[in-house]
Amino acid sequence: MLVRTAADQMPRLNSPSETALAGGSSPIYWMGEFTYKRDAEIYGEKEPAEYVYQVKAGAVRSYKLLSDGRRQIGAFHLPGDIFGLTDGEAHWFTTEAVIDTTLWLLKRRSLETEARADSILSRRLISITTRNLQHAEDHVLLLGRKVALEKVATFLIEMDKRLTSADVITLPMGRRDIADYLGLTVETVSRSLSQLGRAGILTFIGDTHHREITILDRTQLLSLDLQ
Amino acid sequence: MLVRTAADQMPRLNSPSETALAGGSSPIYWMGEFTYKRDAEIYGEKEPAEYVYQVKAGAVRSYKLLSDGRRQIGAFHLPGDIFGLTDGEAHWFTTEAVIDTTLWLLKRRSLETEARADSILSRRLISITTRNLQHAEDHVLLLGRKVALEKVATFLIEMDKRLTSADVITLPMGRRDIADYLGLTVETVSRSLSQLGRAGILTFIGDTHHREITILDRTQLLSLDLQ
DNA sequence: CGACTGCTTGAAGAAATTCAATTTACGTGG
DNA sequence: CCACGTAAATTGAATTTCTTCAAGCAGTCG
């Protein structure tokens, strides 16, 4: 269940029980709750994978860097999302809090132990990984074959689905993050958003950084989000 | 074990036993062997996922299409690779044989049933899915942040690792497939390959379609494949 | 208050695409 | 067996898209 508060415009979960991992034959006990300040690193690429995480509130970006500093964000993790699940010993991503973020942590080892005996949990782990894979594959299509405006439209629709309960999308991330997610520059993202605004498809709400957006014409926006 | 024959220059596996799925606590019995002609469809997007596949010989491309025909290849499956593993009921990809291809098939249902009782197999399924996810994430980085020449260099290195036993890379796929894998056009792929040739990094062997390539300078090629 | 950050916009430039033409091999059919 | 048509790859020229560079504006924070 998603709850919207006036104070922070981000969705928030109230307990880890309402999640993909809970509800197996035996309940999962999260280690506890940790809070990360904006831009704080949660774990780095090639660090040993000790924990699995679920977002309680906030937003997380996971990215890779090329040696010369170019950055590609693979995914944003929003309330309810589980991340950090890996097979080998090490992560292959860096993750950071986009805004102040609260996470639930779970020892990976105990999850693995549990999964050995619990085939429902096991199935669930496959399911989570598969969902991540599907997202990545959709993202591959976007990055490889969509033009800038289509990328931004797809992004807005994804965010609209994932973090709005009202008609205002409050983006937790800035233009830089969006650009690195879509394989564009900040300028191109900004120009595309302006273009959508001029076309009457969306409008910016009062917010200073133009991170509050209302979709005015979903039909037109969807027509840009080819399937 | 990879065997190279003079007749076909593609690697080939001799039995499914030498694979990721076999070797669990109980052996996996593949349904049998099927052969697909070049360009034959193996399964289509949104088809119910009845089987899981392993490549015995040949090559498979899996791709998505946008409604206007733009195509993005997510992966090439080469001898030994397992694909078609999905969680839900339906595939989210179309797969086709790149060249004449022999596959081993396994009923998905029986694999699932087996996995319920066999935690080692279960673990293995997670492992395969995770590997696919890692590949997709690497591909996201390539598509989002690498320039044409770097994309082609990365592609060659990947193929070199995956399908050469000698010093000649025999590409099963044509330029169109490479382009759709790298998010480029055929012309750009061709120009990049020519450029690598002029730089003395690779050379084309006798083959008519310039699909036989020898890497002359691995050091230089690797320097284009940023990490 | 002033420096700073994040966002936007414009102009110039670069990279990749599109359009067009050529080459080469290959298969079909006279 | 050769001629013709087709398909794959390459190369060049023109064009488009996106990036880079530059400037400005608004809100925030010390």
- Per residue in B6-45, pLDDT (tens digit) is 334 567 787 775 566 665 555 667 889 999 999 999 999 9
Whether pLDDT at B195 is above 80: yes
CA dihedral of B45, A78, A17, A13, whole degrees rounded to 10: -140
Nucleotides on strand C lying under 7 Å from protein C-beta: 6-11, 15-20, 24-26
Please report which confidence band the pLDDT of residue B167 belongs to, taking 50, 70 and 90 as the band edges. confident
More confident residue, B207 or A104: A104
Please identify every stretch of chain A with a pLDDT value under 50, giving residue numbers as ranges: 1-8
Cβ of A89 under 8 Å from any chain B Cβ?
Answer: no
What is the C-alpha separation between A6 and A20, in angstroms, rounded? 27
Give the distance, in angstroms, between residue A191 CA and nucleotide C9 C1': 8
B37 CB-to-strand D distance under 7 Å: no
Angle of helix B108-117 relative to helix A119-145, nearest 10 degrees?
A: 130
* Gap between the Cα atoms of B34 and A137, Å rounded: 27
**Cα-based torsion angle of the residue sequence B119, B124, B125, B127 in order, rounded to the nearest 10 degrees:** 130
Find, among B130, B127, B183, B187, the residue nearest to B154 by Cα: B183
Count of CA atoms in the C-beta half-sphere (13 A) of B102: 11
Average pLDDT of span B93-115:
94
Tokens coding A127: 């399911």
- Residue B154's SS3 state is helix
Taking the CA of residue A184 and the C1' sugar atom of nucleotide C11, their distance in angstroms comes to: 19
pLDDT at A2: 37
- Which residues from A are below 8 Å from B145, CB to CB? 66, 70-72, 183
CA B106 remoteness from chain centre? 19
Whole-angstrom distance, CA of residue A136 vs CA of residue B139: 9
pLDDT on residue A4: 35
Nearest CA of chain B to the CA of A135: how many Å?
Answer: 10
- State how far residue A223 is from chain B, nearest Cα, in angstroms: 11
Mean pLDDT across B138-148: 98
What does the pLDDT read at residue A6? 34
B201, β-bridge pairs: none
In B67-217, where does DSSP find H-type helix?
Answer: 108-117, 119-145, 148-163, 175-182, 186-198
A182 touches chain B (CB under 8 A): yes
Q: What is the mean pLDDT of residues B49-65?
A: 97
Domain made up of B147-225: CATH architecture: Orthogonal Bundle (1.10)
A188 nearest nucleotide via C1' and CA: D18
- The mean pLDDT value for B105-113 works out to 93
| Interchain proximity B137–A87, CB inside 8 Å | no
Q: What's the alpha-carbon Rg for chain B, to the nearest Å?
A: 18
State both tokens at A192: 């595309």
What's the average model confidence in pLDDT over B194-210? 91
The residue extents of the domains of chain A are: 2-143, 147-225
pTM metric for this prediction: 0.93
pLDDT of residue B6: 34
- Nearest-Å Rg of the Cα atoms of chain A is 18
pLDDT at site A7: 37
Q: In what order do the strands lie in the sheet with B41-43?
A: B41-43, B94-97, B60-65, B71-77
The arithmetic mean of pLDDT across residues B157-173, rounded, is: 91
Comparing A131-135, A161-165, B84-88, B198-202, the range with the smallest average pLDDT is A161-165
> How far apart are alpha carbons A202 and A215 in whole angstroms?
4
Q: What is the DSSP letter of B166?
A: S
User: Which CATH architecture describes the domain A2-143?
Assistant: Sandwich (2.60)
- Which string of b and e fits B94-111 if b means at least 16 CB within 10 Å? bbbbbbbbbbbbbebeeb
Cα→Cα distances B100→A182, B166, B168, B216, Å: 36, 22, 20, 29
Handedness of CA B115, B47, A139, B162 (dihedral sign): positive
Q: Among candidates B28, B18, B42, which has minimal Cα distance to B106? A: B28
